[in-house]
C-alpha cells in the first residue's frame, strides 16, 4: 500500500487502510481521472471531512496520497524535480474539496510553484462528480499564466477523452484536456518555446522587488536606484510590488495579503528571487522565505553582491568578504530549541554543536582573521600617507555618488585606463595615479568607491581603511551627475558620509559632470545656483582645463605655500649649476621670473632639462619655459639657452617648436600604481 502524506493519527484503522489503498488504483493515460475513482475520493473525503489529493504521473500511476485539512493541503517535497523553467513536472494533482467553490489561491500557488501538469479539483453536484481544471500556459513578457477552465462533469470528460461524445457537444468542450496525452504534449511545446525566447532575450536571474515607501519624489528616486542596482548585479526585475506605508510590517515586511499576492505574481513571472527595499530584519527574512519558498535578499545583500563581483585586488576581496560575513551573522540564528547548541540533552548536557553553531563559529573565526589582515593593510596605508606628507606630495581625492563619472574624470586627467562603466559601483578598488602638473609639480589623484544613500554599516566598517584616504587628502573633488534629477539628494548623501568620515573639513571643489547631456536651461540654472562649481564633460579633456587650473591654483597658491611650505624642487633642479656656470648667466633666472610674471593666472611651465656641471666642458643643458597651450599639455618654446657644449654638442630645434609636457608620470609613490606615461 502507498504511504499517506499527512496527519492520519485521528483516523480509524479501516479509514487509514481505505486511504492507503487509493494508491493502488490506476487511471487511463488519456483521462484526467475516472468516474469511479472520483466518486470514491469524494465519498471518503466527505466521511473524513478533510481534503484528499492524489499525485498521478503521465502513465496513470498514482505516485502519492495526500491527506489535508478541511480547507488546505500540506504538500510533500519532491526529491526528484523535473519541473523547471520551461518544463512541466510530469505529475498532475487531483484533489477534492468539500464545497463547490472556485480554485483557491493556495491551490493556484501550488500549481505555479511545483509546475504540475495540471490541477483537477473535484466536487459533488446533483449530476454527479465534476471537476474544475487549471493548467499553466505561456503569458505575456515571459510570464507563466494559470489558465482556469470551466467546470465539467467527470462523465462528460471521460466520453470526450474516449471520443464517444457527440461532435457538436465535443466542440463546446474543445479547451478541455481530453485526450490528456496530446494536450500535455502541445502544452510542453508551448512552454518550452516561451522559455527559449525568454532565455534568448535576457538570461539574467528573474526577480520581483518588494518596495515599501512613504511616497513622494524620494520614493521614485529610491525605486530607480533599486532598479539600477539590480541591473548592475545581473538581476532582471520583472515586476516591482509597492506598498505605501510608513514602515515595513515587522513580521512579513508587506502585509500578509499583499505578500501572498506578490508571491503569486512571482510564480506567474517565473521569478525565483525576491528583492526587498528597505533592509530586512532576520525575522522578516525567515517569515518571507517560509511563506513563499523563494530566495529572499534585501538592498544591502544586493550591494554586497555587486561589490563581490567587482572586487579585483586582494584587499578589495578581503573587505567584501568581511562585510558579507558581518551582515550574514544575525541571519544565522535558530528557531526555538531545535537549533540550539545545548538543547535536547538530558539535564542540559546537549548532543554537541549543531550545523548552525558550527557555521557561526567558523564565521566568527574568519571575521577575526579578516580583521587582522585588514588591520595590517591599514597600517601600510597609514605609512604611505606619512611618506606623502614627508615628501609634500599633495593628494586630490575624487569622491561622489556612485556612477557620477569619477573614474572617467581620473582617466581624462591622467591619461590612464581605469575601468569606467555606466554602472553602479563599477569602481570598487581605490586607484591612485601620479600626474605631473605644469610647473613640474607632482600630484596624486585618488579614485574612490562611490557613495550611496543608506550605505550599509558593515560595508562602511569593512572599507574604513580605504575611506580614511579621503580624510587625509589635501583637496576633494566632489563629482556630481548633473543629469540626474536626484542630484540634490545625492550631494547631501555625499556630504553626510564625508562628515561621518570626519572629512568634511577637507577643502573641496564641486564638479558637475556629464554636462553634454544637460539641457541649456538646466545648465544655466546650475551655474547660477553654484557659481563656485566647475562644469565638465569628463570624456572631453578640453572641458577640464578650468578645473585643472583651479586645482593648481589651490595646491600652489601663495597662501597655501605659506602654510605648508614650498613644494620641494624636482631632482634635476636640485643639482643644476649656479648662474655663472650657465651660458645664459643670471639673466636666465630673470627671464624665468619675467615669464612667470607674464603668465600669472594661468598654468605655466618652467622646466630645466639635463642641466649638470661638467668639469671638462663646462655646463650644458636645455632650458624650456612657457605657458600651457590650447591643448593643456603642449607648450611653445619661448626661450632656449644652450651653454658651453664642448665636444658632443647636439643641434637644438629652433624656438617656436611644440613639445608635449604634463600628463601622467611614470613613477610610483610608495607602492601606489602610477599612470602610464
* Model pLDDT for residues 168-203, shown as the tens digit of each residue: 889 999 999 989 999 999 998 888 888 777 665 555
Kindly tell me the sign of the dihedral angle through the C-alpha atoms of 6, 10, 16, 19.
negative
Same fold, 204-309 and 392-563: yes
Name which of 389, 401, 331, 395 is nearest 360 in CA terms. 331
Q: What is the pLDDT of residue 512?
A: 95
Q: Interior CA angle at 669 toward 663 and 672, to 5°?
A: 95
The pLDDT of residue 345 is 41
Give the angle subtended at the CA of 625 by the CAs of 620 and 627, to the nearest 5°.
Answer: 165
Q: Is the pLDDT of residue 45 over 90?
A: yes
Residue 35: pLDDT band by 50, 70, 90 thresholds?
Answer: very high
pLDDT tens per residue, range 273-316: 999 999 999 899 988 888 887 889 999 889 888 888 888 778 88
pLDDT digits (tens, 9 = 90+) for 81-125: 444 556 788 999 999 999 989 999 889 888 888 889 999 999 999
123 to 132, 421, 470: CA distances (angstroms): 8, 59, 71
Could you tell me if 207 and 238 are in contact, meaning their C-beta atoms sit under 8 angstroms apart?
A: yes
Which of 302, 305, 272 has its CA nearest to residue 204? 272
Grid coordinates in use for 460? 562602511
Domain 392-563 CATH assignment equals 3.40.50.300: yes
Contact 414, 464 (CB under 8 A): no
Across residues 332-346, what is the average pLDDT?
46
Q: Which of 445, 384, 386, 387 is nearest to 415 (CA)?
A: 445
pLDDT for the residue 591: 39
Higher pLDDT, 614 or 121: 121
pLDDT of the residue at 184: 93
Q: What is the pLDDT of residue 186?
A: 92
Per-domain residue ranges of the chain: 4-199, 204-309, 325-374, 392-563, 571-664
Average pLDDT rounded to a whole number, residues 664-670: 35
More confident residue, 296 or 623: 296
pLDDT of 80 reads 45
Helices (H) and strands (E) in the chain, counts: 21, 23
Closest CA to 505 of 531, 481, 541, 471: 471
The grid coordinates listed for 621 are 643643458
pLDDT of residue 590: 37
Phi first, then psi: what are they for 296, rounded to 5°?
A: -125, 130
Kindly give, in sequence order, each residue whose CB lies less than 8 Å from that of residue 177, ignoring residues fewer than 6 positions away. 32, 118, 133, 135, 149, 183, 184
Peptide bond preceding 278: is omega within 30 degrees of 0, i.e. cis? yes
CA distance 167 to 157: 14
| Of 13-27, 53-67, 311-325, 626-640, minimum mean pLDDT range | 626-640
What angle do the packed helices 105-114 and 256-268 form, to 10 degrees?
A: 40
Looking at per-residue pLDDT, the higher value among 143 and 55 belongs to 55
257 band by pLDDT with thresholds 50, 70 and 90: confident
Is the domain covering 204-309 a CATH 3.40.50.11060 domain?
A: yes
Question: Which pLDDT belongs to residue 638?
Answer: 39
Lookup: cell for 512: 558637475
Kindly tell me if the per-residue pLDDT of 263 is higher than 60: yes
Closest CA to 305 of 481, 418, 428, 465: 428
Instruction: Provide the terminal-to-terminal Cα distance of the chain, rounded to the nearest Å.
Output: 81
Paired residues of 235 in beta bridges: 205
Close Cβ partners of 45 (under 8 Å, ≥ 6 residues apart): 51, 52, 96, 98
Amino acid at each position: 500500500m502507498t504511504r499517506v502524506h499527512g496527519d492520519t493519527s485521528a483516523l480509524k484503522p479501516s479509514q487509514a487502510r481505505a486511504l492507503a489503498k487509493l494508491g493502488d488504483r490506476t487511471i487511463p493515460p488519456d483521462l484526467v481521472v475516472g468516474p469511479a475513482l472520483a466518486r470514491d475520493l469524494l465519498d471518503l473525503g466527505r466521511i473524513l471531512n478533510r481534503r484528499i489529493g492524489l499525485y498521478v504521473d503521465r502513465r496513470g500511476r498514482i505516485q502519492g496520497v495526500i491527506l489535508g485539512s478541511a480547507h488546505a493541503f500540506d504538500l510533500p517535497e519532491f526529491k526528484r524535480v523535473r519541473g523547471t523553467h520551461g518544463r512541466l513536472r510530469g505529475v498532475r494533482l487531483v484533489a477534492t474539496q468539500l464545497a463547490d467553490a472556485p480554485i483557491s489561491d493556495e491551490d493556484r500557488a501550488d500549481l505555479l510553484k511545483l509546475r504540475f501538469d495540471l490541477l483537477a479539483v473535484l466536487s459533488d453536484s446533483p449530476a454527479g462528480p465534476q471537476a474544475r481544471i487549471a493548467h499553466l500556459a505561456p503569458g505575456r513578457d515571459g510570464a507563466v499564466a494559470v489558465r482556469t477552465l470551466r467546470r465539467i462533469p467527470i462523465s462528460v470528460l471521460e466520453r470526450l477523452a474516449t471520443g464517444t461524445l457527440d461532435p457538436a457537444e465535443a466542440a463546446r468542450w474543445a479547451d478541455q484536456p481530453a485526450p490528456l496525452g496530446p494536450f500535455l504534449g502541445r502544452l510542453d511545446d508551448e512552454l518550452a518555446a516561451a522559455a527559449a525566447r525568454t532565455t534568448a532575450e535576457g538570461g539574467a536571474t528573474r526577480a520581483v522587488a518588494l518596495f515599501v515607501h512613504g511616497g513622494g519624489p524620494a520614493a521614485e528616486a529610491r525605486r530607480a536606484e533599486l532598479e539600477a542596482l539590480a541591473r548592475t548585479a545581473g538581476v532582471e526585475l520583472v515586476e516591482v510590488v509597492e506598498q505605501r506605508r510608513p514602515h515595513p510590517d515587522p513580521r512579513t515586511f508587506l502585509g500578509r495579503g499583499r505578500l501572498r499576492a506578490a508571491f503569486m505574481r512571482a510564480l506567474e513571472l517565473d521569478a525565483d528571487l525576491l528583492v526587498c527595499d528597505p533592509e530586512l530584519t532576520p525575522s522578516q527574512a525567515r517569515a518571507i522565505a517560509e511563506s513563499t519558498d523563494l530566495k529572499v535578499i534585501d538592498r544591502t545583500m544586493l550591494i554586497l553582491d555587486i561589490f563581490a563581483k567587482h572586487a579585483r585586488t586582494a584587499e578589495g576581496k578581503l573587505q567584501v568578504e568581511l562585510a558579507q560575513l558581518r551582515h550574514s551573522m544575525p541571519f544565522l540564528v535558530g528557531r526555538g530549541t531545535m537549533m540550539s547548541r545545548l538543547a535536547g540533552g538530558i539535564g542540559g548536557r546537549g548532543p554537541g554543536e549543531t550545523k548552525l553553531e558550527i557555521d557561526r563559529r567558523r564565521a566568527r573565526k574568519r571575521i577575526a582573521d579578516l580583521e587582522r589582515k585588514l588591520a595590517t593593510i591599514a597600517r601600510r596605508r597609514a605609512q604611505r600617507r606619512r611618506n606623502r606628507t614627508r615628501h609634500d606630495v599633495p593628494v586630490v581625492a575624487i569622491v561622489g555618488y556612485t556612477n557620477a563619472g569619477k573614474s572617467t574624470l581620473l582617466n581624462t586627467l591622467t591619461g590612464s585606463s581605469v575601468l569606467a562603466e555606466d554602472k553602479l559601483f563599477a569602481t570598487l578598488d581605490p586607484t591612485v595615479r601620479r600626474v605631473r602638473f605644469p610647473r613640474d609639480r607632482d600630484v596624486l589623484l585618488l579614485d574612490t568607491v562611490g557613495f550611496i544613500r543608506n550605505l550599509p554599516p558593515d560595508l562602511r566598517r569593512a572599507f574604513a581603511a580605504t575611506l580614511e584616504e579621503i580624510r587625509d587628502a589635501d583637496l576633494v573633488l566632489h563629482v556630481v551627475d548633473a543629469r540626474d534629477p536626484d542630484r540634490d539628494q545625492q550631494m547631501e548623501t555625499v556630504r553626510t558620509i564625508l562628515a561621518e568620515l570626519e572629512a568634511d573639513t577637507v577643502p573641496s571643489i564641486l564638479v558637475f559632470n556629464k554636462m553634454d547631456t544637460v539641457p541649456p536651461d538646466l545648465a544655466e540654472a546650475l551655474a547660477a545656483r553654484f557659481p563656485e562649481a566647475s562644469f565638465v564633460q569628463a570624456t572631453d579633456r578640453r572641458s577640464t582645463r578650468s578645473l585643472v587650473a583651479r586645482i593648481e591654483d589651490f595646491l600652489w597658491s601663495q597662501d597655501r605655500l605659506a602654510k605648508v611650505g614650498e613644494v620641494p624642487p624636482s631632482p634635476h633642479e636640485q643639482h643644476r649649476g649656479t648662474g655663472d656656470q650657465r651660458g645664459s648667466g643670471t639673466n636666465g633666472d630673470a627671464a624665468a621670473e619675467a615669464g612667470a610674471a607674464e603668465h600669472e593666472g594661468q598654468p605655466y611651465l618652467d622646466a630645466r632639462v639635463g642641466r649638470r656641471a661638467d668639469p671638462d666642458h663646462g655646463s650644458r643643458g636645455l632650458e624650456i619655459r612657457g605657458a600651457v597651450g590650447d591643448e593643456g599639455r603642449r607648450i611653445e618654446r619661448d626661450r632656449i639657452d644652450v651653454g658651453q657644449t664642448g665636444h658632443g654638442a647636439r643641434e637644438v630645434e629652433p624656438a617656436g617648436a611644440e613639445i608635449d609636457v604634463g600628463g601622467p608620470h611614470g613613477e610610483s609613490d610608495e607602492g601606489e600604481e602610477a599612470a602610464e606615461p
